[in-house]
């Protein structure tokens, strides 16, 4: 039963070892118990559905073949499943009753007897301890210990020479009790090995959109204590074509177990910044701005006469020409997670050009434009929403082909433009929010999201 439980619980889990993890997942006892409850039903169905290959054997001179064996009834009491500190899980079931039916053929010298049988095993108890580990970034599972005991066995034969059957029934009884008892743990081991194969086949990196890959191998072995399981993942986005790691590191963070929630997920600001880095390093963060893109309400046109109000010498040197701006990120835009707030620093570079009548772009000046945005994120239902504000904007002249000029007025104007032109559109989008991805009909119940220093903490209960 345990393998399926683990599989259910961790099916969301999907290589570089020794790095600090950027994503952490904690499963609490509440989550484990809910998973067990789901898993128990699944295992019961699976037991009922089990089919067996023909069983051939002999007891002394009696040869027998059991064929068409199937489970006709199974009382599956709720198992207990607990975290097993430093190892994984410990599962116990006691008082399981199971009835199998099938055909029996007995050969004893010249005597051939055929008929059907039903066999009930009562009060079956199984204890299984499984070890969780890290198999090259994949969650791995193996059987640590297993013990099984059968309280009693009851066999009935129907048809054939029931007198012979009755004679051998007592021998069969003990024989079968031992046979079945000896088969339980190997069967569980087999199931755990099957599960291990499935876990190893689960992808640990995922394509996100057309450009990005999210890399989430385990960064260390699962951490199991008496009340929770923690899985640590690498949690790095990189560009699908040019896989380069960002020049910054994950800062350690510790995710606190919250016993009233089944699951907690912590994501370091590193994960967000790895997205920034992959866009930055592939040169995507560049924009060309022409006059046509400036809203008509904006008090400045992108041409040399209009800019004369701010840079008096410009229209004298380049009379009545349109201008173009090339805006790019000077450095990687970085997110900082602070208590209750997300900040984004955008170090920008603006190069201004005059568009000559023959379409040649003549460079005019270069500005360093640094903005800091601060935002809030919240969760409602299955939607993550946000809002953003400009908290700092500074403009500095880096170089000029047209002589020095004061940037204060331009700075004020651009600040006004960001606040009144850019942010309202951005905030409309952020308010619309992003629907959280869901899978296998799993619903989030009372999810909460909290931004802490260096990481965001998402906790939730789930319902299937
Ligand atoms: C039971 O077996 C049938 C036929 O092999 C299969 O279609 C079904 O999915 C199985 N159910 C479970 C719960 O394994
Ligand atoms: C991060 O924490 C782990 C375990 O707590 C520790 O082994 C490691 O040295 C820490 N790394 C840094 C960079 O602080
Ligand atoms: C420049 O902008 C002004 C408005 O400020 C406009 O009157 C003028 O026609 C524009 N010149 C060009 C070349 O677009
Ligand atoms: C375009 O016009 C400018 C200014 O008149 C001139 O300096 C430049 O050489 C011209 N370029 C081409 C390719 O004609
Ligand atoms: C805005 O940024 C500038 C330059 O980085 C800095 O000197 C200034 O203190 C910042 N102002 C605020 C209010 O954060």
Q: pLDDT by residue (tens digit) across 260-302?
A: 999 999 999 999 999 999 999 988 899 999 999 988 888 899 9
For the chain, domains (ranges, CATH) are 2-10+28-201 (3.15.10.10), 285-432 (3.15.20.10)
Report whether residue 252 contacts ligand 2, using a CB cutoff of 6 Å: yes
Q: Is 141 left (phi over 0), alpha (psi -120 to 50) or beta?
A: beta
Q: Within 10 A of 312 (CB to CB), how many other CB atoms are there?
A: 10
392 CB under 6 A from ligand 5?
Answer: yes
CB atoms within 10 A of CB 381: 12
Check whether 13 has a pLDDT greater than 50: no
| pLDDT cut 70: percent of the chain above it | 93
Q: What is the pLDDT of residue 439?
A: 64
Which ligand 2 atom sits nearest the alpha carbon of residue 20? 1
Assess whether pLDDT exceeds 80 at residue 12: no
pLDDT computed for residue 440 by the predictor: 66
pLDDT average, residue stretch 36-55: 83
Residue 421: pLDDT band (50, 70, 90) is confident
Q: What is the pLDDT of residues 240-260, one digit of tens each?
A: 888 888 999 999 999 999 999
Q: How many CB atoms lie within 10 A of CB 299?
A: 9
pTM of the model: 0.85
Residue 251 beta carbon below 6 angstroms from any ligand 2 atom? no
Ligand nearest to the CA of 396: 5
Q: Ligand 4 centre from 356 Cα, in Å?
A: 7
Count of beta carbons in the 10 Å neighbourhood of residue 396: 11
| Residue 417, C-beta contacts closer than 8 angstroms, at least 6 positions apart | 298
d(CA 356, CA 348) in angstroms, rounded, equals 25
Confidence bin at 392 (pLDDT 50/70/90): very high
237 bridge partner residues: 214
Q: How far is the CA of 408 from the centre of ligand 3 (A)?
A: 22
Residue nearest to ligand 4 atom 8, measured at CA: 360
Proximal ligand: closest to the CA of 356: 4
Question: Residues with beta carbon inside 6 Å of ligand 4?
Answer: 356, 358, 360
320 lines ligand 3 (CB under 6 A): yes
Residue 160 has a pLDDT of 63
The string of DSSP letters for 347-376 reads EEEEEEEEE-TTS-EEEEEEEEEEEEEEEE
Cα(49) to ligand 1 centroid in Å equals 6
Residue-wise pLDDT for 183-222, tens only, equals 889 988 998 999 999 999 999 999 988 889 999 999 999 9
CB 1 within 8 A of CB 43: yes
What pLDDT shows up at residue 9?
45
CA 51–ligand 1 middle distance (angstroms): 10
Q: Is residue 394 in contact with ligand 5, taking CB distance under 6 Å?
A: yes
Report which ligand 3 atom has the smallest distance to the Cα of 321: 13
Please classify residue 216 by burial: count the beta carbons closer than 10 Å to its beta carbon, then call 0-12 exposed, 13-18 middle and 19+ buried.
buried
pLDDT at 374 over 80: yes
Query: Which protein residue's CA is at the shortest distance from atom 3 of ligand 3?
Result: 306
Give the least confident one: 113-122, 382-391, 431-440. Answer: 431-440
CA of 456 to the centre of ligand 2 (A): 19
Cα separation of 235 and 30, whole Å? 25
In tens, the pLDDT along 67-100 reads: 988 889 998 899 999 999 999 999 999 999 999 8
According to the 3-state scheme, what is the secondary structure of 174-226?
A: HHHHHHHHHHHHHHHHHHHHHHHHHHHHCCCEEEECCCEEEECCECCCCEECC
Least confident of 1-10, 343-352, 416-425, 444-453: 1-10
For atom 8 of ligand 5, the residue with the nearest CA is: 392
Ligand 4 pocket test target in 354, 358, 364, 401 with most atoms within 8 Å of CB: 358
- The confidence score (pLDDT) of residue 11 equals 44
Distance CA 163, CA 159 (A): 10
């Amino acid at each position: 039963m345990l393998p399926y439980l683990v599989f259910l619980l961790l099916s969301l889990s999907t290589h570089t070892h020794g790095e600090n993890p950027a994503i952490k997942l904690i499963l609490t006892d509440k989550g484990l118990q809910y998973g067990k409850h789901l898993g128990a039903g699944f295992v019961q169905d699976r037991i009922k559905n089990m089919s067996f290959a023909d069983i051939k054997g002999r007891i002394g001179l009696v040869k027998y073949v059991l064929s068409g064996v199937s489970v006709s009834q199974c009382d599956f009491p709720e198992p207990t499943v607990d975290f097993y500190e430093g190892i994984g899980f410990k599962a116990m079931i006691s008082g399981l009753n199971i009835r199998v039916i099938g055909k029996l053929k007995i050969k004893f010298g010249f005597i051939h007897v055929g008929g059907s049988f039903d066999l009930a095993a009562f009060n079956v108890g199984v204890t299984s301890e499984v070890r969780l580990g890290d198999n090259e970034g994949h969650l791995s599972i193996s059987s640590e210990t297993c013990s099984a005991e059968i309280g009693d066995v009851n066999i009935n034969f129907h048809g054939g020479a029931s007198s012979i059957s009755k004679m051998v029934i007592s021998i069969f009884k003990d024989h079968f009790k031992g046979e079945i008892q000896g088969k339980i743990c190997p069967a569980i081991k087999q199931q755990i090995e099957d599960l291990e194969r499935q876990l190893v086949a689960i992808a640990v990196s995922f394509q996100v959109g057309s450009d990005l890959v999210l890399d989430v191998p385990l960064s260390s072995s699962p951490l199991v204590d008496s009340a929770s399981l923690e899985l640590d993942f690498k949690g790095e986005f990189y560009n699908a074509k040019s896989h380069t790691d960002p020049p910054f590191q994950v800062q350690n963070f510790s995710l606190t177990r919250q016993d009233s929630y089944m699951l907690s997920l912590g994501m370091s600001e590193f994960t967000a910044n790895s997205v920034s880095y992959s866009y930055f390093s592939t040169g995507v963060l560049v924009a060309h701005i022409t006059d046509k893109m400036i809203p008509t309400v904006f008090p400045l046109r992108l041409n040399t006469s209009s800019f004369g109000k701010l840079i008096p010498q410009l229209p004298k040197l380049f009379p009545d020409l349109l201008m173009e701006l090339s805006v790019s990120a000077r450095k990687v835009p970085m997110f900082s997670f602070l208590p209750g707030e997300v900040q984004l620093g955008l170090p920008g570079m603006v190069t201004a050009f005059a568009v000559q009548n023959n379409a040649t772009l003549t460079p005019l000046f270069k500005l360093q434009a640094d903005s800091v945005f601060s935002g809030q994120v919240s969760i409602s239902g299955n939607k993550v929403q946000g809002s953003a504000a400009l908290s700092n904007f500074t403009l500095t002249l880096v170089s000029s082909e047209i002589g020095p000029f004061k940037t204060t007025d331009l700075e004020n104007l651009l600040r006004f433009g960001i606040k009144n032109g850019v942010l309202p559109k951005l905030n409309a989008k952020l308010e619309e929010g992003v629907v959280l991805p869901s899978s296998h009909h799993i619903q989030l119940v009372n999810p909460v999201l909290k931004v802490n220093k260096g990481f965001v903490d998402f906790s939730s209960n789930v319902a299937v």
